[in-house]
């Protein structure tokens, strides 16, 4: 049967097997220049017309010649080098490279970009959660990757495939319909006030009182603590400028600006702490760092500070808590003793007071109960039983 052409809808014909076929040009091969012809099939001419219309609409939104040639592995590798890496911090770029090489490419790299579906990605996440670790030593202890690690991969994939949509390689981002695992919140532990004194006494015995007193009164991150320079101290204004962090990149420690603008901040220092810092400067006049390693004379490695923290806990006879829990200790004690949330949030370098509230709900909830009790007592003391001589309500105006 002769071909029938529907205006603007490609070519339609009835095949020998009884089905209707619609053909259309979906672009041209960039290498040969030849037309890329695709087809749709249906039982009726009307069905094929509709399918052909939809297919042509899709082809107009996609760069078919390029879309059909990319696998996820090829696209994510190119995306990383061209789009992502030049705009990432070195530490983040290192993580992305690891995500791609160790997980995405081995598991999904051969899947054509145009054929990638949400279910494939969701299964990929699930497999990572149950057995995604690569190193054999880690596999024996815990074969699955953490929720936060997988969420990092999810974020990277989402951004990568958003770029594929913008490049007209795919119509929509399949990651939009995927659910990464929830992040497991590690139990927050803090030192009690009496334990703080034991902790600082043990730190003093090691000649480390200024460092850990500063930590417990400011809540700095370990990467911020080790990067502090004497030029960050404003003796006149009694403030400390926190404007950099230490990162390990390709095996070497590097000092860089923090990831977010909120992390750059000025913190007020107590006179007691300033006295300790003056003694520290006098003891190490040659060092540019406030706290320099006695071994190298240079910046402490963050892991070295963590090890010192562990030794101090042991010598103080205290239960183990993470170094990061000293930051939690500062925030908790500050909030419990009346420092307002906005001030604590600014000192911690949080994105907002709301984030601080959510993080320290246990503390702020207790404070709210205390406030409720205070207000309840305050208001109730003003309520007295009415007497006949003094009615509870006095009506002013027409007595009627």
Mean pLDDT of all residues in 14-35: 80
Choosing among 3.40.50.10490, 1.10.10.10, 1.10.150.130, 3.40.50.2300, the CATH entry for 72-177 is 1.10.150.130
The sheet with strand 11-14 has its strands ordered as: 4-5, 11-14, 20-28, 35-42
* Residue 367 confidence (pLDDT): 64
Q: Where are the domains of the chain?
A: 4-61, 72-177, 195-321
* Residue 139 confidence (pLDDT): 64
CATH of domain 195-321: 1.10.443.10
Whether 216 has a pLDDT exceeding 60, the answer reads yes
Residue-wise pLDDT for 280-321, tens only, equals 999 988 899 999 998 888 899 999 999 999 999 999 999 999
Residue-wise pLDDT for 169-215, tens only, equals 888 899 999 999 987 777 789 999 999 999 999 999 999 999 999 99
- With contact defined as beta carbons under 8 Å apart, do 298 and 311 qualify? no
The rounded distance, in Å, linking the Cα atoms of 17 and 27 is: 28
Q: Which two tokens stand for residue 170?
A: 């795919």
Q: What is the mean pLDDT of the chain?
A: 85
Regarding predicted confidence, which is higher, 369 or 287? Answer: 287
The rounded distance, in Å, linking the Cα atoms of 204 and 109 is: 55
Mean pLDDT of all residues in 8-16: 77
Contacts of 17 (CB under 8 A, 6+ apart): none
Predicted TM-score (pTM) above 0.85:
no
3-state secondary structure of 167: coil
Q: pLDDT band at residue 366, thresholds of 50, 70 and 90?
A: low
Domains 72-177 and 195-321 share a fold: no
The rounded distance, in Å, linking the Cα atoms of 224 and 222 is: 5
Mean pLDDT of all residues in 129-154: 83
Closest CA to 157 of 174, 135, 141: 174
- With contact defined as beta carbons under 8 Å apart, do 72 and 116 qualify? yes
Helices 147-166 and 90-99: crossing angle in degrees, nearest 10, is 90
Q: pLDDT band at residue 25, thresholds of 50, 70 and 90?
A: confident
Question: CB atoms < 10 A from the CB of 84, how many?
Answer: 20
């Amino acid at each position: 049967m002769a071909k029938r052409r529907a205006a603007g809808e490609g070519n339609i014909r009835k095949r020998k097997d009884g089905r209707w076929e619609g053909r259309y040009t979906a672009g041209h091969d960039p290498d040969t220049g030849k037309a890329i012809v695709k087809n749709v099939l249906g039982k009726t001419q009307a069905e094929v017309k509709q399918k052909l219309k939809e297919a042509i609409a899709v082809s107009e939104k996609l760069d078919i010649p390029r879309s059909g040639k990319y696998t996820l592995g090829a696209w994510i590798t190119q995306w990383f080098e061209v789009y992502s890496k030049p705009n990432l911090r070195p530490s983040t770029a290192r993580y992305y490279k690891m995500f791609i090489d160790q997980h995405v490419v081995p598991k999904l790299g051969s899947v054509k970009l145009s054929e990638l579906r949400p279910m494939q990605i969701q299964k990929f996440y699930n497999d990572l959660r149950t057995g995604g670790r690569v190193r054999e030593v880690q596999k024996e202890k815990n074969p699955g990757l953490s929720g936060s690690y997988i969420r990092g991969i999810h974020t990277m994939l989402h951004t990568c495939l958003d770029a594929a949509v913008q490049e007209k390689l795919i119509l929509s981002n399949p990651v939009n319909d995927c659910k990464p695992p929830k992040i497991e919140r590690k139990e927050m532990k803090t030192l009690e006030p009496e334990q703080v004194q034991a902790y600082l006494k043990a730190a003093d015995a090691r000649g480390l009182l200024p460092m850990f007193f500063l930590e417990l009164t400011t809540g700095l991150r370990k990467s911020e603590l080790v990067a502090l320079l004497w030029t960050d101290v404003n003796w006149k204004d009694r403030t400390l400028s926190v404007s950099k962090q230490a990162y390990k990149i390709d095996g070497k420690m590097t000092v860089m600006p923090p990831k977010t603008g909120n992390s750059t901040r000025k913190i007020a220092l107590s006179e007691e702490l300033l006295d300790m810092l003056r003694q520290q400067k006098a003891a190490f006049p040659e060092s540019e760092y406030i706290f320099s390693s006695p071994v190298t004379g240079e910046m402490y490695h963050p892991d070295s500070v963590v090890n010192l923290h562990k030794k101090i806990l042991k010598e103080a006879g205290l239960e183990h808590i993470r170094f990061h829990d000293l930051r939690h200790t500062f925030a908790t004690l500050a909030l419990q003793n009346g420092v307002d949330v906005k001030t604590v949030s600014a000192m911690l370098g949080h994105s907002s007071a709301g984030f601080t509230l959510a993080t320290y709900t246990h503390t702020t909830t207790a404070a709210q109960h205390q406030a409720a009790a205070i207000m309840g007592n305050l208001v109730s003391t003003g309520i007295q039983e009415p007497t006949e001589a003094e009615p509870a309500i006095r009506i002013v105006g027409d007595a009627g």
